[in-house]
């Protein structure tokens, strides 16, 4: 999980604070020392940490906090505010041109994830009702052009290429003319990367910038490179000027140092984060939601957005009807499970649920995606009749299903029991709150 180490340490520190009825200045200072160490271990820039702690200390050791009835909570609130500020305060949106097409240029070092991010960004813009086109201006890595074309096919979006014999500046210019005639209102230019920031690359990028005057230059950096990512961002901003950052591979970055330092060091906001290799694994970066995740308070808003994007509203209505009629089958069960899995890796989803998002709890929960594969295999090994009427699945059928799905009879039994319980529970819910009276404490 992203920020795992930092989240665990901060949550431990604050648990101790919350446990105390009254706080002294010494208590707060000791806690802040732990926060400082945790941030440094998470590879946050040293100067950034020093400033951050100083700001919190000024606010937290004041009379207002120490004399309050819930001083521990107050300190956490201040840390939450300052963490949010550190990452940029509020989300930083893309700016669109008054007269289309809006030109977005992605730049960055080799392997940082530019081509993948071009596809992800195009997908997200399309979902927002835009008509994006992509321009393949990376002529040095021949596979990059093909890679972008494959992404374009999958997204059903145009990719403009001129092969690898024309100059990137000419390709970018021709690509924009193409977009204009093709009625595309946004173009994303995928540029070439180098291993290091060098003069040749910068000159080329500057020429493209000069010719096409992009509305947004977004730097793609790899979160897993930690403080190196921050240095690269600083250099690109000095030499080229950037509007913001796409921080990729945050899903693989347990420390989170780059995410916490980029804005403070470069002054430029993180606009998006990459949370996986799939095309829908791009999230708008919300500093407040990220701070909340780090402090174990969950991120319900992102969870709702993910659900809205991946759960089919029509199917949800159908399901509600089936529940009312008591017709919920194992096929529906499988369908539901698939829809939830479409929302992303389970540990990321669970990390957004308040209460479950405490790093410690998640570790104990042991999210086992393999078990979900087993359930899918078991249901797929049943006949349609069995899926609709699981009560008919007798001993010999259970044996056949276990054999067919490569699982054991116990696994099949467990699933059937789970399904029965789920169905019972859903029936109670679909019967409305009245029936629930006396069952749950808050209905009494």
Structure-block tokens of residue 169: 């500046």
Query: Is 5 annotated in some ligand binding site?
Result: no
Q: How far is the CB of 140 from ligand GTP (least distance, A)?
A: 8
| CA–CA gap between residue 224 and residue 248 (Å, rounded) | 8
Structure-block tokens of residue 40: 């440094």
Q: How far is the CB of 147 from ligand GTP (least distance, A)?
A: 6
Query: Is 407 annotated in some ligand binding site?
Result: no
Half-sphere exposure of 37 (CA within 13 A, CB side): 9
Query: Is 27 annotated in some ligand binding site?
Result: no
Query: Is 92 annotated in some ligand binding site?
Result: no
Q: Which is nearer to ligand GTP, 144 or 426 (CB)?
A: 144
Query: Is 115 annotated in some ligand binding site?
Result: yes
Q: To 10 degrees, what angle do helices 71-86 and 4-18 make?
A: 150
CB-closest chain residue to ligand GTP: 274
Q: Which is nearer to ligand GTP, 56 or 233 (CB)?
A: 233
Q: Which is nearer to ligand GTP, 168 or 296 (CB)?
A: 168
Q: Which is nearer to ligand GTP, 187 or 402 (CB)?
A: 187
Query: Is 156 annotated in some ligand binding site?
Result: no
Structure-block tokens of residue 285: 């970066």
Q: How far is the CB of 28 from ligand GTP (least distance, A)?
A: 37
Question: What pairing do the DSSP bridges indicate for beta strands 270-274 and 282-284?
Answer: antiparallel
Query: Is 251 annotated in some ligand binding site?
Result: yes
Query: Is 248 annotated in some ligand binding site?
Result: yes
Question: What is the SS3 assignment for 278?
Answer: coil
Q: How far is the CB of 189 from ligand GTP (least distance, A)?
A: 12
Question: What is the side-by-side strand order in the sheet with 282-284?
Answer: 159-160, 132-137, 186-191, 102-108, 216-222, 244-248, 270-274, 282-284
Q: Which is nearer to ligand GTP, 193 or 244 (CB)?
A: 193
Q: Which is nearer to ligand GTP, 248 or 302 (CB)?
A: 248
Residues lying near ligand GTP in the complex (CB under 6 A) are found at 108, 110-116, 138, 141, 144, 193, 248-249, 251-252, 274-277, 281
Structure-block tokens of residue 220: 């793609």
Q: How far is the CB of 252 from ligand GTP (least distance, A)?
A: 5
Q: What does the DSSP 8-state code read for residue 166?
A: S
* Ramachandran region, residue 97 (left: φ > 0; alpha: ψ -120 to 50; beta: rest): beta
Q: How far is the CB of 243 from ligand GTP (least distance, A)?
A: 18
Q: How far is the CB of 10 from ligand GTP (least distance, A)?
A: 24
Q: Which is nearer to ligand GTP, 3 or 14 (CB)?
A: 3
Residues pairing with 28 in the sheet: none
Query: Which residue, 107, 118, 284, is CA-closest to 209?
Result: 107
Query: Is 170 annotated in some ligand binding site?
Result: no
| CA–CA gap between residue 233 and residue 22 (Å, rounded) | 43
Backbone angles phi, psi at 214, to 5 degrees: -65, 150
The binding site comprises 108-115, 190-194, 248-251
The binding site for GTP comprises 108-115, 190-194, 248-251
């Amino acid at each position: 999980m992203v920020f795992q180490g930092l989240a665990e340490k901060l949550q431990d520190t604050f648990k101790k604070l919350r446990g105390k009825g009254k706080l002294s200045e010494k208590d707060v200072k000791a806690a802040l020392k732990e926060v400082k160490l945790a941030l440094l271990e998470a590879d946050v820039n040293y100067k950034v940490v020093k400033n951050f702690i100083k700001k919190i200390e000024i606010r937290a050791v004041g009379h207002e906090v120490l004399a309050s009835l819930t001083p521990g909570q107050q300190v956490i609130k201040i840390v939450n505010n300052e963490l949010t500020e550190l990452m940029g305060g509020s989300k930083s949106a893309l700016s669109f041109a008054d007269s289309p097409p809006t030109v977005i240029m992605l730049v960055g070092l080799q392997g940082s994830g530019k081509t993948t991010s071009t596809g992800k960004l195009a997908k997200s813009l399309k979902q927002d009702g835009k008509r994006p086109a992509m321009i393949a201006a990376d002529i040095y890595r021949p596979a990059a052009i093909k890679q972008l074309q494959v992404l374009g096919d999958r997204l059903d979006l145009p990719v403009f290429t001129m092969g690898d014999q024309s100059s990137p500046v000419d390709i970018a210019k021709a690509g924009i003319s193409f977009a204009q005639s093709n009625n595309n209102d946004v173009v994303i230019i995928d540029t070439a990367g180098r291993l290091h920031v060098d003069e040749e690359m910068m000159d080329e990028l500057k020429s493209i910038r000069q010719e096409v005057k992009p509305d947004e230059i977004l730097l793609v950096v790899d979160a897993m490179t930690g403080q190196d990512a921050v240095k690269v961002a600083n250099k690109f901003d000095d030499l080229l000027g950037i509007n913001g950052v796409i921080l990729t591979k945050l899903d693989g970055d347990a420390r989170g140092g780059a995410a916490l330092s980029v804005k403070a060091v470069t002054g430029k906001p993180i606009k998006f984060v990459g949370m996986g290799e799939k095309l829908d694994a791009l999230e708008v970066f919300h500093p407040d939601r990220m701070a909340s995740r780090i402090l174990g308070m969950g991120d319900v808003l992102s969870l709702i957005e993910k659900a809205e994007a991946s759960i089919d509203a029509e199917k949800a209505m159908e399901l509600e009807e089936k529940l009312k009629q008591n017709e919920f089958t194992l096929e529906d069960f499988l369908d539901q499970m698939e829809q939830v899995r479409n929302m992303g890796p389970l540990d990321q989803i669970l990390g957004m649920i308040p209460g479950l998002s405490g790093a410690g709890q998640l570790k104990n929960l042991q999210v086992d995606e393999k078990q979900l594969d087993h359930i899918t295999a078991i249901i797929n090994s049943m006949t349609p009749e069995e899926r609709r009427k699981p009560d008919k699945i007798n001993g010999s059928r259970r044996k056949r299903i276990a054999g067919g799905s490569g699982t054991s009879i116990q696994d099949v039994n467990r699933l059937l029991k789970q399904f029965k319980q789920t169905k019972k529970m859903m029936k109670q819910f679909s019967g409305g709150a009245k029936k629930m009276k006396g069952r749950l404490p808050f209905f009494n």
